[in-house]
Amino acid sequence: MVDASTAHLDKFWQRGKALLGVQYPIMCGAMTWVSEPRLVAAVCNAGAFASLACGNMPPDELARQVAHTRTLTDKPFAVNLITVAPNYLAHLEMAVQAQLPVIVFAGSMPREQEIEKAKASGAQVLAFASTDALAKRMVRYGVDGLILEGMEAGGHVGPVVGPILWQQILFQFSERVPVFIAGGVATGKMMAHLLLMGASGVQLGTRFVMTDECVAHPNFKEEFRRAQARDAVTSPQFDSRLPVIPVRALKNKGTLTFAKLQLELLQKLDAGEMEREAAQMEVERFWIGALRHAVIEGDVEHGSLMAGQTVGLVDEIMPVALLVKELIGDAERELERIARTL
Q: Is 137 exposed, middle or buried (0-12, 13-18, 19+ CB in 10 A)?
A: middle
The answer on pLDDT for 3 being more than 80 is no
pLDDT bracket for residue 84 (50, 70, 90): confident
**Do 138 and 36 fall into the same domain?**
yes
Does 62 map to a domain? yes
Amino acid 245: pLDDT: 77
**Do 331 and 197 fall into the same domain?**
yes
**CATH (domain of 27):** 3.20.20.70
Name the least confident of 36-40, 105-109, 150-154.
105-109
Does 223 map to a domain? no
Q: What is the pTM of this model?
A: 0.94
Does 2 map to a domain? no
Q: Where does the chain show beta strands of DSSP type E?
A: 26-28, 49-53, 78-82, 102-106, 124-129, 145-149, 155-156, 179-182, 201-204, 232-234, 247-250, 305-306
**Do 34 and 181 fall into the same domain?**
yes
Does 335 map to a domain? yes
**Do 202 and 107 fall into the same domain?**
yes
Angle CA 198–200–201, to nearest 5:
120
- How many domains does one find in the chain? 2
**Do 274 and 301 fall into the same domain?**
yes
Does 210 map to a domain? yes
Does 45 map to a domain? yes
Does 167 map to a domain? yes
**Do 24 and 127 fall into the same domain?**
yes
**Do 157 and 21 fall into the same domain?**
yes
For 267, the domain range is 228-306
Amino acid 287: pLDDT: 82
**Do 184 and 250 fall into the same domain?**
no
**Do 166 and 35 fall into the same domain?**
yes
Does 175 map to a domain? yes
Angle between helix 132-141 and helix 112-120 axes, rounded to 10 deg? 50
**Do 134 and 254 fall into the same domain?**
no
Across 189-209, average pLDDT: 98
**Do 175 and 102 fall into the same domain?**
yes
The answer on pLDDT for 317 being more than 90 is yes
Angle between helix 320-341 and helix 37-45 axes, rounded to 10 deg? 40
The answer on pLDDT for 14 being more than 80 is yes
